[in-house]
Chain A
């Protein structure tokens, strides 16, 4: 056998690891060669593992987009004012889900979700969660969520508060119970210092202690349908609520 530099019979440590063929005796006795062979073997094993992971990931069928919910807009609704982007609710979960609660008059409440859950939504609370839903798309092709009408949402809320998350507890079902130290109460006008709300499973961003949030719970429900996180997003939507509260107050909730 000939031992060229780092090779035995034309096979270096890397090729030996690639082919996984038995090593000659002389190579086994060569400490430097064996050290290189061990390193190459480890890298080859890692490569094999990664190709398996990547291949598995890429061969998954693409998730089907959620069917668009078919809301039944009520003609008495005023169109969403364009003065501000409207209140935003966050998408729940990485796949878009729609939660529709049909009210007595046939008004469909939507917590519309866009599919844009991406890294932005997991950014720090200070940067704000900008998963924006509920506003009418430019082409008007989809019915905006109910939160596109701040006056209506305010009118139909039993709780609408801004505050800081102090506690997150799992519930008996997949939902979570969030306790807030309230910094500002919109509904009711003078509420308690602390409130506990139920957040739907998969709400994004996931609730965490210390988050600055805006939360809304509609009448007749125990689950929040408005979950806004981050200084910027909360500031924008709070401004919309304040404007709605300062309005003529002629909007009434169809459910009473």
Chain B
């Protein structure tokens, strides 16, 4: 019933606008959700938003931030459920065109970052994407994930340090 309602609502009033949907897709993809499953993931986010409304909960103050957190959790669930996880680095390498203003050097850098992302523990990857892609503040991440701020900082610190070390070792920066 919820799916039928979702379809009806989607036709009349999509809870996610185009930009938000795009952002959700990106967070899912950065979290390792395979390309083919991205539409399903976006739909899951829509449904969560509708469920929230159906329960009478207040709408999120920042739908984009909320949707990004939900998407990042979904990405982690995807991996935990042993569904096929797409390595971001491989997916990026297979793309024929990568829009880079500065050409090949930037492409090498993007691949290195993508490969570094793949090597991060899921929880570190999640907070990294929420902080530096979805631009959530540390406090916001902590509140949404229901974990202490110190934990968020610790995970971010570990993630960024690992990526920095990798990029410097690879001599791409």
Contact = CB atoms under 8 A, between A and B. Distances in A.
Contacts of B74: none
A196 interface: no
B129 A51 contact: yes
Interface stretch (A25-33, A41-49, A102-110): A41-49
A59 B160 contact: no
Task: Among A40, A60, A118, find the residue whose CB has the most chain B CB atoms closer than 10 A.
Answer: A60
A56 interface: yes
Interface string B11-28: 000000000001001111
Given A47-B113, A53-B99, A55-B27, A19 B88 contact: no
Interface stretch (B43-51, B52-60, B77-85, B130-138): B130-138
A56 B96 contact: no
A52 interface: yes
Interface in A119-164: none
Task: Among A19, A46, A51, A56, find the residue whose CB has the most chain B CB atoms closer than 10 A.
Answer: A51
Contact of B30 (A18, A44, A58): A58
B156 interface: yes
A19 B152 CA distance: 10
B8 interface: no
Nearest to B98: A57
Chain B facing A: main interface SS: helix
Contacts, number: 89
A57 B99 contact: yes
B110 A59 contact: no
Given A15-B153, A18-B153, A50-B110, A56 B160 contact: no
A94 B113 contact: no
A159 B171 CA distance: 51
A123 to B, nearest CB: 15
Contacts of A44: 132, 160
Interface residues of A, number: 26
Contacts of A47: 113, 128, 132, 160, 163
A14 B156 CA distance: 10
Contact of A58 (B29, B153, B163): B29
A190 B134 CA distance: 66
A117 interface: yes
Given A47-B113, A47-B132, A54 B30 contact: yes
Contact of A59 (B38, B128, B131): B38
Given A44-B160, A56-B26, A19 B38 contact: no
A62 interface: yes
A94 B96 contact: yes
B96 A57 contact: no
A12 to B, nearest CB: 8
Interface string B71-111: 00000000000000000100110011111100000100110
Nearest to A44: B160
Given A53-B98, A55-B26, 11 more contacts: A12-B157, A18-B138, A43-B167, A47-B128, A51-B133, A54-B113, A55-B27, A57-B99, A57-B110, A59-B26, A62-B35
28 contacts: A14-B164, A15-B157, A18-B138, A18-B157, A18-B160, A19-B138, A19-B156, A43-B173, A44-B132, A47-B113, A47-B128, A47-B163, A48-B132, A50-B113, A51-B30, A51-B128, A51-B132, A53-B99, A53-B100, A53-B110, A54-B113, A54-B117, A55-B26, A57-B110, A58-B30, A58-B91, A59-B38, A118-B96
Closest 3 CB pairs of A and B: A55-B26, A58-B29, A59-B25
Interface of A: 12, 14-15, 18-19, 40, 43-44, 46-48, 50-60, 62, 94, 117-118
